[in-house]
Structure 1
Amino acid sequence: MELSEIKEYIRVDYDDDDELIEELKGAAEEYLFNAGIEVNYKSRLYKLAIKMLVIHWYENRETVLIGSLSKSIEYSLAAILKQLRYCGENYEAKQ
């Protein structure tokens, strides 16, 4: 996934944070890999999970309180991870 695609998603139109965004993308890939998800940029759900993690970490660089925004991303991301883990290959096989 190109840096420009992530920047468009997180609505950043300047280059000052490019290095940070690249680091967050790498961390998101590592996070998904550690969750049992292989790198798969052909999957729209995989790309969405990367973008969700990047925007969350980009916008929340300080400690996040329990029950705040983190709960909504937690739920959404958990649902995407389940889909990627158990259904991703089946969907791609039908394409």
Structure 2
Amino acid sequence: MMIIDLPLTRKWLREPPEEDDEILNLIIGAAEAYLKNATGRVFDSTNNQARLFCLVLVTDWYENRELIGIKPSDKVRFSIQSMLLQLQNLPDEGEVTSV
């Protein structure tokens, strides 16, 4: 199950050209794989933090295609690291935590 889809991503990016759809689908898949590999967890579209993480990462990779590598750019690194930390430490589904 996908965390984000192409229509949502296109809205988030303020409607990029349709000829970029193939690139966007590739980047969406890579962002979702990055999240899974970084957290060891599988998320779906019901987790808004995971959705936002993927949208931020897709935006960074899309807007900085010439610099794309295996990690986020410096300008979003802090946000990405902070979101990853929170997503890594979410309780398992059904687990109850006290505040």
TM-score band by shorter chain is 0.7 to 0.9
Aligned partner of 1:55 in structure 2 is: 59
Question: Residues 93 and 23 (structure 1 numbering): CA distance in 2 closer, same or farther, change over 3 Å?
Answer: farther
Distance 2:92 2:47 in 1: 9
Q: Where does structure 1 differ by over 6 angstroms across 4 or more consecutive aligned residues?
A: none
Distance 2:63 2:17 in 1: 15
Aligned partner of 1:9 in structure 2 is: 12
Distance 1:46 1:55 in 2: 14
- Kindly tell me the number of residue pairs found equivalent between the two proteins: 90
Query: CA offset at residue 56 of structure 1?
Result: 0.5
Aligned partner of 1:73 in structure 2 is: 76
Aligned partner of 2:46 in structure 1 is: 42
| Deviations 1:36-69, CA, capped at 9 Å, x for gaps | 23222211110011111111011001237xxxx9
State percent identity of aligned pairs. Answer: 31
Q: TM-score, normalised by structure 2?
A: 0.76
Superposition CA RMSD, Å: 2.6
AA in 2 matched with 1:81: L
Larger helix share, 1 or 2:
1
1:22 maps to 2:46: no
Structure 1, unaligned runs of 5 or more: none
Structure 2, unaligned runs of 5 or more: none
Question: Residues 88 and 70 (structure 1 numbering): CA distance in 2 closer, same or farther, change over 3 Å?
Answer: farther
Task: Please tell me whether the aligned partners of residues 43 and 88 of structure 1 are also in contact (alpha carbons under 8 angstroms).
Answer: no
Distance 1:88 1:9 in 2: 28
SS at match of 2:67: coil
